[in-house]
Amino acid sequence: MRNHLLIFITGSALSLAACNRGIDENTDSSVDPGGLPPVETTAANTTYQPAFAGQTRIAGVRSTTSFGATVLTEALKSPWGITSLPDGRLLVTEKAGTMRIITSAGKLGAPITGIPAVNATGQGGLLGVRVDPAFTTNRTLYWVFSEARSDGNLTAVAKGTLSADETRIDGATVIYRALPAYQGTLHYGGRIVIDPSGNLLVSTGERSDLATRPQAQVNSSALGKIVRITTGGAPVTGNPYATVSGALPELYSIGHRNPQGLALHPVTGDLWESEHGPRGGDEINLISPGANYGWPTITYGIEYSGQRIGDAIQQREGLQQPVYYWDPVVSPSGMTFYSGTRVPEWTNNLFVTSLSAMHIVRLVLENSKVVGEERLLADQGQRFRDITQGTDGALYAITDQGRLYRIDRN
C-alpha cells in the first residue's frame, strides 16, 4: 500500500503554532532572542533547575525547506526497529517476533522465519536490528530481543544469515545475554548500532522495578548499561571496564534507565543515546567510554506516583549530565542523525522518535550542545517508535500503530 496519506509541510506552517506559545515560568529562559519560543509550554513536573543554560526547553526552530511525509504502509504490526538494506529496501522488526522487508513502494514481504522465540509480553519482543556492513557478501543480520528463561527474562543479542530467497534466517545464534535475568517485563533497552570498527554497541535497561533499579550503578551487572561486544559476542579488547576488578568487561557506559535510542554522529563518530526518564527527566546523552550517567542517583524526574527518587538530586561529582532533557517527558525511542543535504538545514541534526508526545523531535546541535528544537508530524496522532535514514537520503519512521513514513524534500 502506498500514498494513503501525503503531507506537504512548509516552514511557515510548522512554526505558526510555536510563534503563539509562551514560555512556562519553570523553564530555562536563556533562549536566543532571535529564535522562536520553546516548543514545550506545558508546566514541568518538578521545580528542578537545569545544570546549564540550554539543557532543557531550548529555543524553537523551524524547517524552512518544504518537505513532505508519505505513509508507505499501515500494515505493520507493532514495529519496533528499522534499518536499511544496501539495495534501498527497509528491514523492520515487529514486536511479536517477526522481521519483514519493505520495498520503497511500501510492499511488505512475508514474515521471515528462523528467529529465536521472543517474550513479547510487557515491553519485550523483537527489538533493534542492524545489517552487517559486509551484508552484500555475508548476508548477516544482528538483532536484540527479550528472551524468556527459567530464571527470568533478559535482553539478548542474536545474529544470523538471511537466506538467498529472503524467507528465513539461517544459523540464528544468541551471542550475548545481559545478566542477571529478572522476572519483570519492562525496560529492556534494546537498541543496537555498529561502530566504525565493526563492533556492536547495545543498550540494556535496568528492568524498571525497585529491586533491579540499583543495578544500573553496579559494574558487575549488565542491567542499565551500554555494552560493546564483537560480532561474536565477546567483550571488545580495550573496553573501559576491562581492567576494573569485578566489572563486566563488555561494559561501555553505566547508570542508564531505559535507553531505547543509539546513533553515531556522521562527522565525529560520537555515540549519542536517548533514554526514558520516569515522570520527567527523559534524556539525550553524549556517551563517553567508561562514564556513569547517574541513574538512579541523579535524575531530573520523579516517580510516577509523584514521590521523589532517592535523594532527589540532579548533580553529583563523577556523574554525567545529560546534554538535554525533557520535563514533561516525550518518551524518546529510536533516533538517527541526518547526513543528507536534500533538506540543507537538517544536515547533522539529530532526529528522535517520540512515543507519548507523538511526534518526531528534531534537535539542532552545535559543539555537542542542543541549540534548537522542532516538532515534526505532531498532527498525525502516532506513537513514533524508530527512525532511520535510507540509502536514498530520505528519513523513514515507523509507529506503534503500524505506519511507515517516508519524510523528504518536496
Find the domain containing 259 and state its range. Answer: 6-409
The verdict on residue 304 lying in a domain is yes
The verdict on residue 1 lying in a domain is no
- Per-residue pLDDT tens over the stretch 339-373: 999 999 999 999 999 999 999 999 999 999 999 99
The number of distinct structural domains making up the chain is 1
Q: Is the peptide bond before 328 cis (omega within 30 degrees of 0)?
A: yes
Measuring CA to CA, how many Å separate 142 from each of 5, 58, 104, 201, 404?
Answer: 32, 36, 22, 11, 21
The verdict on residue 159 lying in a domain is yes
Active site residues: 187
Q: What is the CATH number of the domain that holds 108?
A: 2.120.10.30
> Secondary structure of the chain: what % helix, strand, coil (to 5)?
5, 40, 55
- Per-residue pLDDT tens over the stretch 5-49: 555 554 433 332 333 222 232 233 333 444 799 999 999 999 999
Q: Which three cell numbers stand for residue 164?
A: 538467498
The verdict on residue 400 lying in a domain is yes
DSSP 29-97: ----TTSBPPS--SPPS--PPPSSTTSSSPPB----S-EEEEEEES--SSEEEEEE-TTS-EEEEETTT
Give me the mean pLDDT over the 67-88 stretch.
98
Count of helices and strands (H, E) across the chain: 2, 24
What lies within 8 Å, CB to CB, of 232 at 6+ separation is 175
The verdict on residue 364 lying in a domain is yes
- Per-residue pLDDT tens over the stretch 178-202: 999 999 999 999 999 999 999 999 9
With contact defined as beta carbons under 8 Å apart, do 358 and 401 qualify? no
pTM of the model: 0.93
